Amino acid sequence: MSASVSQPLWRPLRESDIPRLDAIGEIVHPDLPEPPEVFADRLRICPGGAFVLSTGARPDGGGDEELAGYAIGHPVRLPELPALGQILGALPVGADAFLIHDVALLPQMRGRGLAAPVVELLLGAAVPLKEACLVSVYGTAGFWSRFGFRPETGRLPAGKLASYGPDAVFMTRRL
């Protein structure tokens, strides 16, 4: 008898998933760590912008499903982009853009077309705002350009991207 292999699937983030996101973040973003409190904060303020990539049941038969990625987004008021790791507490009054805070996939999940569906989910959550934005790190601007994002300079105050690392690029797209 052969075991069935389930296709990885994006589903809404649950509070019980948050402790496991730290392990993914340590692999994907070793130089840009964020504490679990940031994920809890984002889930609380924008539950429609928080997803995990589930690969289904664990191969060892354990009770929890395996998670292989996460995606987080929420409204912001530009140019008041939050610093990496900043707890927001609430959505900003007068939010005018949707920040794709992070799309993180474990290395073995990359190159399989798994990011595109969650980017579309995040852009769907951005409605009725007229603009989406993100901070590209690790040289991923080319990836984001496939979704219509373009680098934008001069819109954020000097030093606003410092917490995101030296290669950070602010990018936007109209919705």
How far is it, in rounded angstroms, from Cα 169 to Cα 119? 18
| The predicted structure's pLDDT at residue 2 | 39
The tens digit of pLDDT for each residue in 116-146 reads 999 999 999 998 899 999 999 999 999 999 9
How far is it, in rounded angstroms, from Cα 161 to Cα 146? 22
Host domain of residue 133: 9-174
Q: Which residue numbers in the chain have pLDDT < 50?
A: 1-5
Strand order in the sheet with 97-105: 9-12, 50-57, 65-76, 97-105, 131-136, 169-174, 150-151
| The predicted structure's pLDDT at residue 60 | 54
> How many domains does the structure of the chain reveal?
1
Could you tell me if residue 3 is inside a domain? no
The CATH number of the domain holding residue 22 is 3.40.630.30
| The predicted structure's pLDDT at residue 46 | 97
| The predicted structure's pLDDT at residue 119 | 98
Could you tell me if residue 1 is inside a domain? no
Q: How many degrees, rounded to 5, is the angle at CA 4 between CA 71 and CA 63? A: 60
Q: Please provide the DSSP assignment of the chain as one string.
A: -PPP-PPPEEEE--GGGHHHHHHHHHHH-TTS---HHHHHHHHHH-GGGEEEEEEEE-TT--SSEEEEEEEEEEEE-TT-PPPTT---SSPPTT--EEEEEEEEE-GGGTTSS-HHHHHHHHHHHTTT-SEEEEEE-TT-HHHHHTTT-EE--SSSPTTTTGGG-TT-EEEEEE-
pTM: 0.91
